[in-house]
Amino acid sequence: MRRLWGRANSVNVQKVLWGLDELGLPYERIEAGGAHGIVDAAAYRALNPNGLVPTLQEDGFVLWESNAILRYLAEAHGGPLALPQDARARARIAQWLDWQATSFTPAMRDAFWQTYRVADGQRDHEAVAASLARTERHAETLDRHLANQPFVAGDRFSIADIAVGCAAHRWLHLPLAIAERPALSRWYAEIAARPGAAQVIAEPIS
């Protein structure tokens, strides 16, 4: 039995959904986090002491942190997400997973939060502008990088494309003015057309 706790509109849960769907692995998703609650319950905290989503349980093995779960799925189940044998190629995937978690997504946080979670009359427009400026720099970095190769970590689709792709999905669909990035847009359109991306693409951003 494989269970995933988390709400489908969470960007971190979406990474895991995409990974599971890429691999064609069956799972039960349990609504958790946000309006669904559960994450503060003792039973859930016993699985994930952080009280966050996602949490994956597979045959008694429990794992949290979305990028760690992606790495696990790639290592344990292989298939189209199998990690390369070459250490440097694996390191390149890890580099972009970390970049998504420590640079791209954090830069975007205020622009996303203020737009979707704060009433219009209460929004901190200076925070939004600063967030947009930070994220544009990272989007430019990604665009330049993708101008020279088809996927984030090289010539083949990988879990790095899933992690960065979920963040890019939010960035490209923010109802705010952002710069055109042709290479980024080309790459996003290609990975968004994959069957594994269907749940992420179909879920309204909120």
**Chain segment 146-203, per-residue pLDDT in tens:** 999 999 999 999 999 999 999 999 999 999 999 999 999 999 999 999 999 999 999 8
Q: What is the pLDDT of residue 120?
A: 87
pLDDT at 35 over 90: no
CB distance 184 to 143 below 8 Å: yes
Here the tokens at position 44 are: 């859930």
Please provide the average confidence, as pLDDT, over all residues in the chain.
Answer: 97
Axis crossing angle, helix 125-146 with helix 182-192, rounded to the nearest 10: 80
Q: What is the pLDDT of residue 34?
A: 86
Cβ-contact 186, 180 below 8 angstroms: no
* Contact predicate 19/71, CB 8 Å: no
Predicted TM-score (pTM) of this structure? 0.97
